[in-house]
Amino acid sequence: MPSTKEIRLKIKSFQNTRKITKAMEMVSASKMRKAQDRMRAARPYGDKIRNIVAHLAQANPEYKHPFVVKRDRIRTVGLILVTTDKGLCGGLNTNIQRAVLNRLKQWEVDGVAYQATAIGNKGYGFLQRLGANLVSHVVQLGDKPNLERLIGPVKVQLDAYAAGKLDAVYLAYSRFINTMKQEPVIEQLLPLSTEKLAQSEAERRAYAWDYLYEPDAQRVLDELLTRYTEALVYQSLAENMASEQSARMVAMKAASDNAKKLIDEMQLVYNKTRQAGITKEISEIVGGAAAVAS
């Protein structure tokens, strides 16, 4: 049985750990609210540009941008993996990495080659360990998504698709559902599906007017489709950051609760050990007194 001194040291260690996890929980709760606000603030821009792109695409049926043209056969694909830079966020990164690994195995079975882009340090390390064909990456993005830093790595995949080197581009990230639930998602980014560009009846009426193009419709549509695709990647990063802070808050709360439970258990062991020591000392004193009296 450990001594009371060893038990006190363990209790002190658990208390220090609980202070750290409690502080991280509170910091994550604050960051989570800001991340959710940024995620929600990014959605109106994506909806607005989607409506404009859909209207322009319908208004110019004679021109088809490569981003909306579906390839007959899938031989080579691009993968953009969005993860966190830091750990201590439960199974958030593990879940998306497991989903990506299953998809890569399926591509290998189907004879589909791939090239990857990593957004986030955890995904970058994961793809390196797999020996993946990593063509671009960006890490240490901080707590606020930065579109300017995203454009370069993402443009590698977009340019490869536009040049015909890729037949599809997929985006993998953790979608924010609520504070307790984050869903790993692998969705097709390119070619843009009809569902992504679909408009409701109200949206079609709201965007029923025609446009004057400067310099011409093709160049405007090219630029808008590129911006829309970048906006989709930005939105996925905002979703992933909101998921990260939520998962970290929940993980740190669980760690704090476990530390409290261990402290209570060790305190009980300490009390029993101390009581046993006192009882032993009393027994020795009584025994010694009885021996002297006899």
Q: What pLDDT, in 10s, does the model give residues 93-134?
A: 999 999 999 999 999 999 999 999 999 999 999 999 999 899
Q: CA-CA distance, 54 to 112, in Å (whole number)?
A: 30
Q: For residues 254-287, b (16+ Cβ closer than 10 Å) or e, as one string?
A: ebbeebeebbeebeebbeebeeeeeeeeeeeeee
Residue 32 has pLDDT above 80, yes or no: yes
> Can you give the pTM of this predicted structure?
0.82
Nearest to 42 by CA among 242, 187, 288: 242
Nearest to 41 by CA among 242, 249, 183: 242
Q: Assess contact for 254 and 13: CB atoms under 8 A.
A: no
Q: CA-CA distance, 20 to 256, in Å (whole number)?
A: 9
Catalogue the E-assigned strands of 18-157.
Answer: 76-82, 113-119, 134-138
What's the pLDDT at 77? 94
Mean pLDDT (the chain) is: 84
